[in-house]
């Protein structure tokens, strides 16, 4: 089967945005909202699973806005500790802490007249959230260790792979900050909710990786294409991109065949998942075990049934993913849609091995 470039959506009111692939209803809604909000200065909250393209939408909003000629600054809030993130965002003065040998401007200052994209905003601590709220409301802050107020003209776009209302309910995220960020929410659909776009994405990534690797892989076997379309894609577009690169590199000829796809996409269990003790890596078996133990039927005095069942399933899922990723926590966290610090906490909570990086 020869892959052909996809045609853009016919609806002239929602044309595709440069750099974004997809023409189904879900993506047309995203395009329409992105174009409307770009014309404003409103804060935007991008919601969606890891790998759904939140940064691409943030860049599109910036480029389509009146700030497009200004800087676009991205900060991954889940990658740094509280103290480092505060310094990264707001800067610091000499002597503010050990290692602060000179004054340093932060990312908010670097984004002046442009846009700052705060990825994994759900990872911020309450202390930082207070400071972020002030920037959103007053457009001002102080560098770490300084008393001088800095004023900035910066648009804020935030992103989260978690439901922030759930975090508000758990009191880990400030409600006032949530409403300041959530002026215009944009929900990015997971890849499994827009399977019709998979052939378009395949064509796009094939072109990229053929050029990068000086290859000519332009065909795809029908059974391989069917497997790719039916797969549930927990890593979303980012996972698809990784699979295409792998196939381009490994293909002996000009065609992607079923045998080139990872075992999970061929309907097979990985050796790591199959080697898990007890249930052979099968969550269906776990569900049957819970039924056999009576854990899915609440008694009159059982107030913690839901928490116990969720904890068991969560532990099993993390164990499986960690095994499937060879113990590499960063990779497992990405596949699970959480940051590495959260994964480490979960490993400790469930008594799982937490030594791998």
Q: What does the alpha-carbon distance between residue 18 and residue 27 come to, in Å, rounded to a whole number?
A: 13
Give pLDDT < 70 ranges for the chain: 1-15, 101, 268-309, 353-357
Structure tokens at 231: 């797969």
Q: What does the alpha-carbon distance between residue 6 and residue 201 come to, in Å, rounded to a whole number?
A: 9
Given this model, what pLDDT does residue 43 score? 96
Structure tokens at 163: 């439901």
Examine domains 39-189 and 192-266 and report if their fold is the same.
no
Could you tell me the residue ranges of all domains in the chain? Answer: 39-189, 192-266, 271-349
34 CA to centre of own chain: 18
CATH level 3 topology of 192-266: Helicase, Ruva Protein; domain 3 (1.10.8)
**pLDDT digits 0-9 by tens, 74-109:** 999 988 888 889 999 998 888 777 777 688 889 999
Given this model, what pLDDT does residue 285 score? 58
CATH level 3 topology of 39-189: Rossmann fold (3.40.50)
Pairing state of beta strands 72-76 and 149-151? unpaired
Q: What does the alpha-carbon distance between residue 211 and residue 214 come to, in Å, rounded to a whole number?
A: 5
How open is the CA angle 199-161-178, to the nearest 5 degrees? 135
Given this model, what pLDDT does residue 279 score? 45
Given this model, what pLDDT does residue 269 score? 57
Q: What does the alpha-carbon distance between residue 157 and residue 71 come to, in Å, rounded to a whole number?
A: 13
**Nearest alpha carbon to residue 60 among 17, 110, 27:** 17
The superfamily in CATH containing domain 271-349 is Homeodomain-like (1.10.10.60)
Q: What does the alpha-carbon distance between residue 198 and residue 263 come to, in Å, rounded to a whole number?
A: 19
Q: What does the alpha-carbon distance between residue 289 and residue 90 come to, in Å, rounded to a whole number?
A: 51
- Number of residues written out for the chain: 357
């Amino acid at each position: 089967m020869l892959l052909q470039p996809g045609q853009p959506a016919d609806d002239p009111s929602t044309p595709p945005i440069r750099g974004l692939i997809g023409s189904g209803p879900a993506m047309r809604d995203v395009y329409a909202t992105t174009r409307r909000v770009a014309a404003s200065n409103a804060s935007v909250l991008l919601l969606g699973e890891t790998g759904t393209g939140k940064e691409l939408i943030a860049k599109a909003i910036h480029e389509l806005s009146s700030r497009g000629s200004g800087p676009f600054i991205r900060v991954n809030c889940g990658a740094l500790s509280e103290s480092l993130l505060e310094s990264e965002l707001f800067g610091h003065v000499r002597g503010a802490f050990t290692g602060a040998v000179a004054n340093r401007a932060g990312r908010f200052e670097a984004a002046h007249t442009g846009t700052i994209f705060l990825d994994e905003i759900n990872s911020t601590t309450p202390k930082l959230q207070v400071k972020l709220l002030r920037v959103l409301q007053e457009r001002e802050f102080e560098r770490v260790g300084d008393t001088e107020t800095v004023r900035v003209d910066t648009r804020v776009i935030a992103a989260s792979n978690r439901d922030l209302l759930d975090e508000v309910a758990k009191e880990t995220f400030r409600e006032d900050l949530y409403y300041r960020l959530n002026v215009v929410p944009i929900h990015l659909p997971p890849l499994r909710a827009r399977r019709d776009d998979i052939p378009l994405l395949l064509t796009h990534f094939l072109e990229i990786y053929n050029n990068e690797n000086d290859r000519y892989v332009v065909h795809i076997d029908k059974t391989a294409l069917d497997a790719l379309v039916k797969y549930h894609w927990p890593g979303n577009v980012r996972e698809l991109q990784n699979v295409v690169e792998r196939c381009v590199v490994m293909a002996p000829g000009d065609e992607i065949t079923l045998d080139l796809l990872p075992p999970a996409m061929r309907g097979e269990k990985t050796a790591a998942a199959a080697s898990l003790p007890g249930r052979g890596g099968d969550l269906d078996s776990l569900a049957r075990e819970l039924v056999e133990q009576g854990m899915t039927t609440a008694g009159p005095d059982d107030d913690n049934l839901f928490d116990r069942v969720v904890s068991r399933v969560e532990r099993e899922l993390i164990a499986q993913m960690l095994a499937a990723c060879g113990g590499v926590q960063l990779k497992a966290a990405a596949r699970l849609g959480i940051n590495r610090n959260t994964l480490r906490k979960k490993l400790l909570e469930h008594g799982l091995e937490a030594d791998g990086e």
